[in-house]
Every structure is written in structure tokens, then in C-alpha cells.
Amino acid sequence: MKNDFSSDAVFNIVHCYRLAMRSELKANEIGLNSMHVKCLSFIKKNESCTALDIVRFFDKDKSQIARLIKEMIEHKWITKTAKPEDKRSLILSLTKDGEVLATQLSEAQAKVKQQMLQGLSQEELDVFNKVSEKMTNNLKLFK
């Protein structure tokens, strides 16, 4: 089997997706970056979320996540509150502004996804999902 795979194809999809999301969200105007988007979405989906949960899920170092959390608190997108059963552990929650932003994120993702998938059949999407899952699993060997 001929191997004509180009990593440029993966880069182009990711790059165009990020540009579309940034444009849709007007991310530059509000100081939003891709890790903010990922973390806000993660916090919204996971009640009782802690910084350690984010570190583990995204496989990032603690200092990077600590800086990210500090930025999101400064933007008033999240708050930290002590866990009732363990005061040393802090729960991250979305503020009202964070909830509004998370809703905007979801709406932007839906709009960009709709545009991205135009003209693709369900069969093409199934093949893409299967192939990208295999490639992702192959790359996890580099950890």
C-alpha cells in the first residue's frame, strides 16, 4: 500500500479550525486562548473540578495550569472555593461571566462544526473518526 500521508493535512485542519473559532468568538478582543477554551469547557462539564483534575486530563504541568487558572480568575471567568470535606482542595467553578462565555463557546463550536462538515456524508465522517482515533492512539506511544 502506497503511503502518501502528509502531516500538512492534519496541521491545516487544526489551523483552520482554530482560526474559525477565534474569529467566531472574537477571541483576541477578550484575551481568550485555546487552553482557556479547553479549561472552561472542562470545568463546565465537570462539577467539583480541581486544578489537579485539569493537570491530569490535559497532561500539562502544574505551574502552567496554575498560571492559566490565575488568568481565568483575573478575567472573572472562574472562582475557587474550598471543598467542604477537604479545605486544602479547591473547587473551580464558572462565574456568571464564565457561564456566558462557556455558552458562547458551545454555540461557536456548533457553528464552526456545521460549516466544517458541510458536504460530507455520514460514511466519510465515520471513516475520518476511525482513522483519526487510530492515529491519535499511535501517537500516544510517544509520551
Q: Is residue 24 part of a domain?
A: yes
CATH number of residue 61's parent domain? 1.10.10.10
Q: Which residues, 6+ apart, have CB-to-CB distance to 97 below 8 Å? A: 75, 76, 77
pLDDT tens per residue, range 38-89: 999 999 999 889 999 999 999 999 999 999 999 999 999 999 998 878 777 8
Give the residue numbers spanning the domain of 61: 7-109
pLDDT at 1 over 70: no
Q: Are 76 and 97 in contact (CB under 8 A)?
A: yes
Looking at residue 2, what is its pLDDT?
A: 62
Number of folded domains in the chain?
Answer: 1
Torsion of CA 130, 135, 139, 140, to 10 degrees: 10
pLDDT at 123 over 90: yes
Q: Is residue 1 part of a domain?
A: no
Task: Give me the chain's average pLDDT, please.
Answer: 90
